[in-house]
Amino acid sequence: MRGNFSTITKMFSASVVAAGLLMSAPARAADDTIKVGILHSLSGTMAISETTLKDAMMMLIDEQNAKGGLLGKKLEAVVVDPASNWPLFAEKARELISKDKVAAVFGCWTSVSRKSVLPVFSELDNILFYPVQYEGEESERNVFYTGAAPNQQAIPAVDYLMSKDGGSVKRWVLEGTDYVYPRTTNKILEAYLKSKGVAAEDIMTNYTPFGFSDWQTEVSAIKKFGSAGKKTAVVSTVNGDANVPFYKELGNQGIKAEDIPVMAFSVGEEELAGLDTKPLVGHLAAWNYFESVNTPENKKFISDWHKFIKNNKRTTNDPMEAHYIGFNMWVKAVEKAGTTDPDKVIDAMIGVSVPNLTGGYSTMMPNHHITKPVLIGEIQANGQFETVSKTPGLVMGDEWSDYLPDSKDLISDWRKPLSCGNFNVATGKCGGKGTN
């Protein structure tokens, strides 16, 4: 029965997508346009998060065209819908590159969708900008990671909780959805916590399925774990849809942020939009951007966004900022290279520096990750985050975690002559092993 369902799902989503494509098929492009691919799910479970990114990209491309385009040509967005279906991501990526001849692709949200398109991008030699925080343990020549690596989100977040300001936490619950990002992140965090002297019995790890909605047992287990006379905090890598019922249950069972704070890595302004946040004031999130950040760049970005989407209530979030940075970097690199040829642009990308929305500059590093500030925010009654801590400088994305035995000797440097994504400094060879 279940097998049938999934094949049917595929069949139907494929046909729905095909129909959608027919309707939105781009007009035959003249030679004076540069095409940019947008590979975000507009239907299916991930549409909730990815549709916003598609809209953000459309806005950025519009703005660039208003500024006169790129290399004297107009930019043209080619939007496809991979429908939250991982294999379809690969097919759609191939279509964008081979058929539509796009110069670069902005897309993907889940790690599994990224993994599924990787071979396509290296085979056809194109560029993917990946805007979401992820588990690291990867560095590909054709991918630029504009979201946070674990050391740009998870580690500073835990550091904050251990500090006096964060409440000197001694006991940890690692609560996550059961897939690759939470599992890898929690593995890194566990190793990190142990290196800081946290005993194994003071760490509790728990996983729940995607879209989990009955949190009673888990929340009462957290309550129980928290009553051991030591300051306890929850580090949550719970993903997407499961968050709303999780927070509702926390609120109803009366877990206050002052007693057991929950630090989330996947909860942004967008997720909070579906919640009454009054019982949740004080729970935390770690990101590289909050909508509430008070800088002129951010104010302009938000007002442009409201104008573009024609809705003053739509929030902005961290992956949108990542696309903002990634797109501007790409524009700059293309101008620097004088061509949109992916091969030349990839080389030109390294060292490109553009303003981010939090009042600084982000730079593309040789490992294809970027530098970002890390912000810790507390949930407010109005559904926004208020920054309570910010790293003093920019943090450089570390693709191979130093806390995992398999990857601590690996580095990535895509500059010539090394040009290697997994160089093992211990053996001096390219092609060391990673956990994934």
Partner 1 sequence: MTLIRAGLTLLFLLTTLSSSGAAEADLRGIIAKFATVTDFSETGAVVQELTATGDSAVERPLAALADGNLYIRTADSMVFVGKEGDEGVQLFDPLSGEAAGEASEDDITKITVNNTLRRAIRDALGTLTLGSKDPTVRIAAADTMFKTPDAANIEPLDAAIASESVASVKALLEQARGASILVSDKPDADKLAAIALIGARGDRNAVSLLTSVEANASGAVKEAATAAIASINSTLAIWDAGQNIWYGISLGSVLLLAAIGLAITFGVMGVINMAHGEMVMLGAYTTFVVQQVIRTSFPGLFDWSLVIALPLAFLVAALVGLAIERGVIRFLYGRPLETLLATWGVSLILQQAVRSIFGPTNQEVGNPSWMSGSFDIGQLAITWNRLWILVFALTVFGVLLYVMKRTPWGLQMRAVTANRRMAASMGIRTPWVDALTFALGSGIAGIAGVALSQIDNVSPNLGRGYIIDSFMVVVFGGVGNLWGTLVGAFSLGIVNKFLEPYAGAVLGKIVVLVLIILFIQKRPRGLFALKGRAVEA
Q: Does 76 engage in binding with partner 1 (CB under 8 A)?
A: no
Applying CB under 8 A, the span of 27-35, 138-146, 222-230, 300-308 interacting with partner 1 comes to 222-230
Q: In the complex with partner 1, which residue's Cβ is closer, 33 or 206?
A: 206
Give, as one character, the DSSP assignment of residue 110: S
Taking a C-beta distance cutoff of 8 angstroms, is the pair 379, 355 a contact?
no
Q: Which of 25, 199, 381, 425 binds partner 1 (CB under 8 A)?
A: 381
Taking a C-beta distance cutoff of 8 angstroms, is the pair 319, 108 a contact?
no
To partner 1, the closest distance from the beta carbon of 38 in angstroms equals 15
To partner 1, the closest distance from the beta carbon of 273 in angstroms equals 6
All residues at 6 or more sequence positions from 315 whose CB lies less than 8 Å from its CB, including other chains:
268, 269, 270, 272, 273, 291, 383
Q: Which of 21, 48, 118, 191 binds partner 1 (CB under 8 A)?
A: 48
Q: In the complex with partner 1, which residue's Cβ is closer, 207 or 308?
A: 207
Chain-centre distance of CA 155, in angstroms?
16
Q: Is the peptide bond prior to 417 cis by the omega test (within 30 degrees of 0)?
A: yes
Stretch (H or E) spanning 34: strand 33-39
Taking a C-beta distance cutoff of 8 angstroms, is the pair 37, 80 a contact?
yes
What does the alpha-carbon distance between residue 312 and residue 265 come to, in Å, rounded to a whole number?
26
Binding residues among 393-412 for partner 1 as defined by CB under 8 A: none
Q: Which of 98, 253, 427, 436 binds partner 1 (CB under 8 A)?
A: 253
| Strand-strand pairing, 128-130 and 143-145 | parallel
Tokens representing 131?
């805007």
Q: In the complex with partner 1, which residue's Cβ is closer, 127 or 235?
A: 235
Q: Does 282 engage in binding with partner 1 (CB under 8 A)?
A: yes
| φ and ψ at residue 8, rounded to 5 degrees | -65, -40
Q: In the complex with partner 1, which residue's Cβ is closer, 118 or 275?
A: 275
Taking a C-beta distance cutoff of 8 angstroms, is the pair 73, 34 a contact?
yes
To partner 1, the closest distance from the beta carbon of 153 in angstroms equals 19
Q: Which of 109, 145, 192, 212 binds partner 1 (CB under 8 A)?
A: 212
Tokens representing 310?
């024609």
Per-residue binder mask for partner 1 (CB under 8 A), 323-362, x = binder: ----------------------------------------
Q: Does 204 engage in binding with partner 1 (CB under 8 A)?
A: no
- Please give the size of the binding site for partner 1, defined by CB under 8 A: 69
Chain-centre distance of CA 14, in angstroms?
26
- DSSP output for 361-406: EEEB-TTSBBEE--EEEEE-TTS-EEEEEE-SS-EE--SS-TTSTT
Site of interaction with partner 1 (CB under 8 A) = 1-2, 5, 8-9, 12-13, 16, 42-45, 47-48, 51-52, 164-167, 178, 206-209, 211-214, 216-218, 220-221, 223-224, 226-230, 241, 244-245, 248-249, 251-254, 257-259, 261, 270-271, 273-276, 279, 281-282, 284, 378, 380-381, 386, 388
